[in-house]
Amino acid sequence: MALRTGTAAESWPNIDRDSPFPFYVQVKKALETQIENAYWKPGDQIPGEPELCRLFGVSRPVIRQALKEMEHEGLILRKKGLGTFIASQKIISKSLVHSLSGFHEDMVERGLEPVADVLEQEIQPASKKMAQMLALEEMTPVIKITRLRYVEGEPVALVTSFLPYEHCRSLIHADLTKQSLYAYLEETCGLMIERGWRRIDAVTASEEHAAVLKIDPGSPLLRLESVSYSDQGKAVEYFLAFFRSDKTSFEVEIERVTTG
């Protein structure tokens, strides 16, 4: 992406030297305004440190501190030897954590088009852990589905689901590339997801996950583990998902619980 400066950059506000706010805070705010106003878009390269020093009339340490803060907040990416670039906006997923919507429904609700590359869709005997999670006897047949989830053409998450074969036999033949798993379970298998639990952990990408998600090994990932139950109290799905932390973040609503 070409470097952008132009007249908009030249019209940035001057540093207010009488302001109680540090210079780097003022620089950071001005740069954030350019992003908010869509002057820069994800992937655009911004001016280098010497040019920013000239535009704002401040020293290099001031610019570096402003950029450091922006990088920490995930607004920019600094690539050694290449420059500084506007980072892609993260997909903020609130309902995926504290409600029972699936990834597909959550993305559609946000006006995004989710697509899945189905890497595995097979029947296998339940391992000890799968049996425990799904309240099954060990070696009971389960359907394993591994999907690489894309949003706007980029891989965002690797999700592996396990479901009791007895509850949803036709699922083994379902096309889930552009279809919601939960919608299929409800409409075709008569399974209504009613409750569940989910846990989030911070992990680093293995070489296998890195290759699939197109990131560097050791990159930070968000791991989401979940078990969902039907309105009949049956464990319907256990899944383990790995989300790119540079593409996603999760919000959780909280409220104060008072006791009498």
pLDDT digits 0-9 by tens, 34-49:
888 888 888 899 999 9
Find the mean pLDDT for residues 22-28: 91
Report the domain count for the chain.
Answer: 2
| pLDDT value of position 18 | 87
Dist. CA 63–CA 110, nearest whole Å: 35
| pLDDT value of position 210 | 92
**pLDDT tens digits, 133-162:** 999 999 999 999 999 998 878 898 999 999
In a domain, 255, yes or no: no
| pLDDT value of position 259 | 59
Q: Are 75 and 97 in a shared domain?
A: no
Q: Are 149 and 243 in a shared domain?
A: yes
Whether pLDDT at 105 is above 70: no
Mean pLDDT of the residues in the chain: 83
Report the share of the chain in percent with pLDDT over 90: 40
Whether pLDDT at 241 is above 60: yes
Lowest mean pLDDT among 2-6, 7-11, 109-113, 218-222: 2-6
Dist. CA 135–CA 121, nearest whole Å: 21
AA identity, residue 86: I
In a domain, 138, yes or no: yes
Identify the CA nearest to 147 among candidates 165, 133, 162.
162
Give me the CATH number covering residue 52. 1.10.10.10
Provide the domain limits for residue 57: 6-86
Q: Are 28 and 82 in a shared domain?
A: yes
C-alpha pair distances (Å), 174 with each of 170, 178, 240: 7, 11, 20
pLDDT bucket at 3, cuts 50 / 70 / 90? very low
In a domain, 81, yes or no: yes
